[in-house]
Chain A
Amino acid sequence: MNAVSVFVWRTFRHIRSNLFGLAIDAAVSPVLLLLIFTLLLGGAIAGSVHAYIRHLLPGILVLTVLPMTVYTGTTLCTDIAKGVYDRFRTMPFWQPAAVAGAIIADSFRYLVALPVVLAAGMALGFRPENGLPGAALACLYAALLAFAASWIFAAIGIVVKQPETVSGSSMMIIYPLLFASNVLVDTATMPRWLGRLIELNPVSIAASTVRVLMHGTAGGTDIAAGIGLILLILAVFIPLTFRLYRRRNRNR
């Protein structure tokens, strides 16, 4: 456990040495997206900015954190490419600490980004109908989702050869999922069969959960699906990622 805290420290040093990057990821780019979607599309999609942002903002929270989940994967991949990983491997500590510590510390990024984007939304007229506790729960859920997703990209980071591939693969996976979800458009406006399909998208499930927590609209099944999604990802990817990490380079 001591090793985990060392890796948390290390990751915080990385974040501190690149605060500008954090500002871009956590504030500038999601707020820009939020402004573009609400101001440009709000009127066309939902009739008014105010009506649209009620639907949009919870999804934007998901859209904010998901692209940030690649950091740990990129770090792991860089460690392996640079040989730092080999040095870790010859040291007597609990090896998965390198993965766990980085993922834990990278979660700090989500906790910074979510309140910033929520505040920007409120400045544009968004009101969480469940009040402050609901908004806090919604943010917590989004952060947990990102925490879970970062295990997926950690696994990818261990397998691929170049750090750039990690962010490339995330663009390929995350953006299609984001646009083919209910983040931007309510599925009620779609043909019935398409709406059903879109609702099966994990990003839709997550966005619905955030929306339900935020607005208190009935939806026990949405919340259950949302929590189930996180547990499923964690159950599969924590053991898989640790296993891949331990076995990497055995036969190179």
Chain B
Amino acid sequence: MSDAVYASGLRKSFRGQTAVDGLDLKVRKGELVALLGPNGAGKTTTIRLLSTLIEPDGGTALVCGYDVVRSAREVRRRISVTGQFAALDEGLTGLENLILFARLHGQSRREARVTAERLLQTFGLADAASRSVSGYSGGMRRRLDIAVAMITRPELIFLDEPTTGLDPQSRLEVWEAVRSLLREGTAVLLTTQYLEEADRLADRIAVMEQGKIVACGTPRELKDSVGGKTLTVRMAERNIRTQVDRLLYERLGLAARWDDDGLRLAIPVREAAAAAAVIHTLVSNDMLPEHFSLNEPSLDEVLLRLTGPLRKEAAE
């Protein structure tokens, strides 16, 4: 079985401006990969290259095992694309839009109607079926857009910023729609600027900057790559800061960061066992914590570290 996407050294520039600069990417069957990155990182260009809308200047890309340049038609049979803006016919109703695209996929009138009604049901649009799309809300358009993309039960679906500009409720609806794609076994490559979205939906996240993938892995791996966890402790009494510091340093070789209130301290630790050792040491020396918690690094930190000013600082 071939991968849904296999891209190697893919590049594309527009009038001398490099948009995609030697991109390597893999999406396995039935997997959801999120392309995460700031505006202008080349996410949309990547989608356009992989979905045969534009031709690469160099490198290779196989989609469902077919070359996007030489076998564009074979690729098109197996994919669906939803762009940044819902690509719907505003002059038609929801039902008519689905029938239009189903028929363009070669379905007969009757098949198209059955497909359309099934998808309206799946994506919670049955009540709005005979209303003109021009009167749909942003979330409804997006869901109809994804429904259109599901007409052929594609092997791979591209979602370009599916929730950009949506209110929180609509965003949840779209996420639910994306999860129902995965249940049908479709691989998904989605682009997003939202960490939360990538964290919640993606099997793997590919962080993109300046036309390249700068990091790729499961949300877990990315968080681990940035460093360990943070143990936060609140002591039961004040004025023991010096004793605590000495104890932690001498016994465990750790340095704590204190809050101004002299009660709370944060200690970077590599793993949970190290955190347990800290608590144990404190308790067995009669320095009682009132409360403690072990925190994961957020994906925000990951992204900032990988793409933002922090990385530039580190390089200097």
Contacts and interface: CB of A to CB of B under 8 A. Distances in A.
- Interface of A: prevailing SS: helix
Contacts of B76: 90-92
Interface string A3-43: 10010011001100110000000000000000000000000
| Most chain B CB atoms below 10 A, which of A90, A91, A93, A252 | A90
A10 B83 CA distance: 21
A91 B92 contact: no
Given A6-B104, A82-B85, A13 B53 contact: no
A48 interface: no
A6 B108 CA distance: 10
Contacts of A2: 103, 106
Interface string A35-67: 000000000000000000000000000000000
B38 to A, nearest CB: 20
B101 A87 contact: yes
Contacts of B84: 83
A83 B83 contact: yes
B83 A250 contact: no
A251 B54 contact: yes
> Which has the most chain A C-beta neighbours within 10 Å: B76, B91, B105?
B91
Counting contact residues on chain A (CB < 8 A from B), the size range is: 20 to 34
Nearest to B89: A84
A179 interface: no
- Which has the most chain A C-beta neighbours within 10 Å: B73, B79, B90, B104? B104
Contacts of B54: 249-252
B92 A86 contact: no
A161 interface: no
B118 to A, nearest CB: 19
B99 to A, nearest CB: 9
B191 interface: no
A-B pairs, top 9 by smallest CB distance, nearest first, are A83-B87, A87-B87, A6-B103, A83-B83, A14-B91, A84-B87, A90-B81, A92-B76, A83-B85
